[in-house]
Amino acid sequence: MGIADAVKPVKTLSPDEMGKGFADQFAKVSWGTPDAEADNKITVALQLKNALDDDLVAVERIRLTCTEGATMALKAAGNGTVLAGTGSPDMIIETDEVTGSFDLEVAFAEVGTISVVGGATQGSGFVGCKEIVDLIFA
Amino acid sequence: MSRLDGKFIKPGTITEDRLHPDVPLGGDIPPGTVTAEMLAAALLEKLLVVTWGEVEVVDPTTRKVTIQLADLAGNQVDAAHALRVTCDDQADLAVGEAGTALAGDGTEDLIVQTDAAGALQLVVTCTEEVVISVAVGPTQSSPMLDCRAGADVSFNP
């Protein structure tokens, strides 16, 4: 180590320096672009990301809730599993082990905006759920 | 105080919440190389992982299992923290010799606090010959918790 190294400021860790295994310990929920409304239903994909914002392939348990009046379910033949609450506005899901995604279908028979939000629940890991998706039913 | 205070490192001045000594100072960390094991203990213990011990058969309708808090590197964390523990409604949960029940003792939905060693002994009772799934999650005043691991407690003979 030369003198230049000795006088450098204390290192601050940036996300890019995280190893993938470490970054994969921290999941966050991201949402894709909602599909067009059809038969009073809109589908949208939830995708897990890691701390580097890369797609995270992992099974994660997440509680999904949405605006009252709408109901949620797994899209037909979609990725993921519903553990509880299908057909309601309060659902516990698991993301798909191969893709880390969950294909959500939201039904709402009126006109308005339905917001869907995720959250940690029993059996969750470190999962950030700050991102909300708004679905516009016309 | 001089305007250089805090800019340079002097021996013995790095606080314990900095990175592990194995992490070089000064910006020479290659991308993608930092692991949880390289974090200092003071940072690691803020990221807790729920781990489970072996299920102990007490009698035909009673089982005991211990939950232990660990950090991301797998080290035991000696700290009392609040957890929510739930299970199938065919069984009841209570706190045994380690930890404290804060609410719901003797039900399928329990709010607990680990003891000072980060341990909680869970007593599961069930009169049916089934496998009871037990899950942990965060609750009010919980720290950052990884609760992906659960326990399947068998009451089959």
Residue type (1 letter), A51: A
Chain B, nearest residue to A125 by Cα: B146
Q: What is the mean pLDDT of residues A97-107?
A: 98
> What DSSP state is assigned to residue B30?
P
Give the per-residue pLDDT at B2.
40
Residue B120 and residue B102 in one domain? yes
Other Cβ atoms closer than 10 A to B34: 22
Hey, which residues does A128 pair with through a beta bridge?
A: A28
Least Cα distance to B120 among B138, B94, B142 occurs for B94
Q: What is the mean pLDDT of residues B108-128?
A: 97
Give the per-residue pLDDT at B41.
80
Q: What is the mean pLDDT of residues B89-104?
A: 97
| Full domain range(s) for residue B38 | 1-44
Residue B115 and residue B141 in one domain? yes
pTM: 0.81
Q: How far apart are CA A63 and CA B134, in angstroms?
A: 17
Q: Report residue A94 as tokens.
A: 């698991």
Residue B67 and residue B29 in one domain? no
Residue B29 and residue B66 in one domain? no
Domain residue limits, chain A: 26-137
Tens-digit pLDDT profile for residues B36-61 = 888 878 788 889 999 999 999 999 99
Residue of A10, A121, A125 lying closest to B25 (CB–CB): A10
Give the per-residue pLDDT at B5.
46
Give the per-residue pLDDT at B4.
44
Which stretch of A68-77, B15-24, B26-35, B146-155 has the lowest confidence by average pLDDT? Answer: B15-24
Which of B15, B34, B39, B48 would you mutate first to test chain A, the one with the most A CBs within 10 A?
B34
Residue B37 and residue B83 in one domain? no
Give B-chain residues touching A25 at CB under 8 angstroms.
36, 47, 72, 146
Residue of A7, A8, A18 lying closest to B34 (CB–CB): A18
Residue B58 and residue B4 in one domain? no
Residue B16 and residue B60 in one domain? no
Backbone dihedral angles phi then psi of residue B154, each to the nearest 5 degrees = -90, 135
Residue B1 and residue B33 in one domain? yes
Backbone dihedral angles phi then psi of residue B139, each to the nearest 5 degrees = -145, -170
Mean pLDDT estimate for chain A: 92
CATH superfamily membership of A26-137: Immunoglobulins (2.60.40.10)
Q: Is the ipTM of this complex over 0.85?
A: no
Contact B26 A5 (CB under 8 A): yes
Q: Which residue has the tokens 């691991």?
A: B149
Residue B31 and residue B74 in one domain? no
Which of B18, B19, B35 would you mutate first to test chain A, the one with the most A CBs within 10 A?
B35
Residue type (1 letter), B141: S
Number of Cβ pairs < 8 A linking chain A and chain B: 83
Largest Cα separation within chain B, whole Å, is 74
Least Cα distance to A100 among A52, A45, A63, A22 occurs for A45
Give A-chain residues touching B36 at CB under 8 angstroms.
21-22, 25
CB A23 within 8 A of CB A56: no
Residue B117 and residue B74 in one domain? yes
Q: How many domains does chain B have?
A: 2
- Per-residue three-class SS string for chain A: CCHHHHCCCCCCCCHHHECHHHHCCEEEEEECCCCCCECCEEEEEEEEECCCCCECCCCCEEEEEECCCCEEEECCCCCCEEEECCCECEEEEECCCCCCEEEEEEECCCCEEEEEEEECCCCCCEEECCCCEEEEEC
